[in-house]
Structure 1
Amino acid sequence: MMQLRLPIAVACALAMHAAAADVYPSKPVTIVVPVGAGGFQDTTSRIFAQHLSAQLGQPVVIDNRPSAGSIVGTRQVAKAAPDGYTLLAITDSFTITPHLMKEAGYATRDFTGVGPMVNSSFVAITGESSELKSVSDLVASARQRPGAVSFASSGSGALPHLAVEMFASQAHIDLLHVPYRGVAPSIPDVISGRVAFTFNPIGVSLPLLKAGKVRALAISSSKRSPLLPDVPTFGEAGFPNFEIKFMAALVAPAKTPRPVIERLNAALNAVKSSPEVIALIQQQGDEVAPAGSPAQFDAALRSEEARYAKLLESRGIKAD
């Protein structure tokens, strides 16, 4: 009798999961955005939420939960019911924070991937009046004055900081890191030349470039951006192995039923094929991520986490 109970229990569990997927979603879905309104992560999530609503047949609601390191919103989703009704919008910081902040209170294993929404790139910018006209100028200046050429970032361990550290490692140069509390406070100092340069997302950099306040040195993608056709890639500037993209993506609590994850992934892939969505994302300087499976995305997250963990250790990077 005991031998029969286990197969029956397994069969019942599988049937319940299948039934859950058949009726999912039967109520609104919430995407927790663990940062404030208006930035890359938030605007991307809002574009996708609107179109996911049409795919899923239920409202998809954005819930902003800003906090240091995005940990409040992230913890909230980690502890949420694993039923597909509470999702988390992430960037690469999601894989970095647990290695940087002891108080993060979560691990990436507490989540399972739904899929990436958008990929974006950084632009290295300097003040318009800066003597730095190219990446070669930057490297030459840093080699002449080790540890004196400064760069701004939105905080220690933030993506722009790590991107510059990766470049410095490949270029074999020492730079002076000047962390700020966010992107906005750093921009006046970049424009004035108080700090030599910074890496900022394309969407942040475009208005400054159009206004003639800053100069672009290079872009971190493998090919030039249609929005910045005259700006070379780092590969063209002499660093063929330097390419950094960052993402906005969706994850769910770890024990969310696989059929529900597959349903969400299918809806996400459908949204990414929409010409309207593609155009909206391109307007903000980004590109829609390729379609893919949850398993592929989980593997990519693990790979990125390992890469960033190695960088944090090798460069001795700690939180502010």
Structure 2
Amino acid sequence: MQSKVTTTKEKYPDKPITFIVPFGAGGAMDLVARILEKSAVKHLGQPLVIINKPGSAGTLGWNELVTSAPDGYTIGISASELFLHPLYGTSRYNYPTALEPLAQISSTPVIMVVKADQPWQNATDLIAYAKEHPGELKFGHSGVGSIPHVVGETFSKSANITLSQVPFRSAAEAVTALLGEHIQIVFINPGTVKEYVKSGMLKTLAVADANHLVDPVFANALTFKEQGLELFYGNQFGVVAPKEMPADIRARLITGLDAMINDPDFKKDIEAMGLQYEYLDTKQMQTQWIFENKKLTNAVQESGVVELIKSQKQ
């Protein structure tokens, strides 16, 4: 029996690898997973089988990943919501300690977009309108407690305006609602709306970062800071796995993922979809997790978002 186990490890992977995406098809995380899928056979020797598990702002998918066998055959994509859910007391697990970071792919700020035919040209215009029409504007996001939801609530509080929040199961659903005029604003990852902004259907009013986005489609969009608001929120996408994988399987998986993420075609595809490529290896990602966890913990507690989201979930 011992020799059979050893042989299996030596051959890893000898079957397709399940890749859990905790949000619906069409969103930024899903699109990143599809890009990874393209080079999996080349660099890992087996395909990735993408499984979308949307719901509860990512917790359904991450819960399944935490409880999966740590055999290297179930991995998933991570986002900064990993740090938020435990703060709200609504997740079954403390994801930063229950999951193992393998490699970071990108780090991209959240943006605020509206339909192009709206009269507002920037966040300042929208704030002025919202103050004259309290409670009239609704913003959509990819789930209660998600990073875009936090940005929306923080923006509303910082600007001293009243916005109603509308959660969706995915960012793509939120965009559909925006285009259908069921909501007026969406806080979202730029990759999900790049083509809509490029085609002139949507426009970007603000970027939640200290700097402008590199992508030419968004390069002229003002930051919140330039408009008088200290909002710095982004989302880091990475690859994670259940804890306690055998060392040799972990090493083989990391080697394959590093090759996939550092492939020039992968970087080009990531940037083409509007994300900001930022590769970190396993140790660098672990360090980033410590920093990000502390930053987000302080941010949501100081802004009162934790209490707000807890009350909304009751």
TM-score range with shorter-chain normalisation?
A: 0.7 to 0.9
| Identity in percent | 19
Distance 1:187 1:22 in 2: 44
User: Secondary structure of 1:236's match?
Assistant: helix
Q: CA deviation at 1:126?
A: 2.0
Give the structure 1 partner of residue 313 of structure 2: 319
Q: Which amino acid aligns with 1:174?
A: I
Matched, 1:83 2:57: no
- Select 1:265's aligned residue among 245, 254, 257: 254
Q: CA deviation at 1:114?
A: 1.0
RMSD: 3.2
Q: Unaligned regions of 5+ residues in structure 2, if any?
A: 1-5
Q: CA deviation at 1:61?
A: 1.7
Distance 1:151 1:53 in 2: 40
8 Å contact kept, 1:272–1:289: no
8 Å contact kept, 1:46–1:62: no
Q: How does 1:225-240 map to 2 (within 5 A)?
A: 225-239=215-229
Distance 1:34 1:314 in 2: 24
Give the structure 2 partner of residue 32 of structure 1: 20
Give the structure 2 partner of residue 124 of structure 1: 112
Against the structure 1 CA distance between its residues 233 and 72, is the aligned structure 2 distance closer, same or farther, given a 3 Å change threshold? Answer: closer
Which structure's CA Rg is the greater one?
A: 1
TM-score using structure 1 length: 0.78
Give the structure 2 partner of residue 174 of structure 1: 161
Q: Which amino acid aligns with 2:265?
A: E
Q: CA deviation at 1:178?
A: 3.0
Give the structure 1 partner of residue 3 of structure 2: none
Give the structure 2 partner of residue 216 of structure 1: 204
8 Å contact kept, 2:145–2:309: no
Give the structure 2 partner of residue 59 of structure 1: 46
Against the structure 1 CA distance between its residues 285 and 193, is the aligned structure 2 distance closer, same or farther, given a 3 Å change threshold? Answer: same
Q: Which amino acid aligns with 1:74?
A: W
Aligned residues: 299
Q: How does 1:11-160 map to 2 (within 5 A)?
A: 23=10, 25-28=12-15, 29-56=17-44, 58-69=45-56, 70-100=58-88, 102=90, 104-108=91-95, 109-144=97-132, 147-160=135-148
Distance 2:38 2:287 in 1: 25
Q: Unaligned regions of 5+ residues in structure 1, if any?
A: 1-18
Q: CA deviation at 1:32?
A: 2.0
Q: Which amino acid aligns with 2:35?
A: I
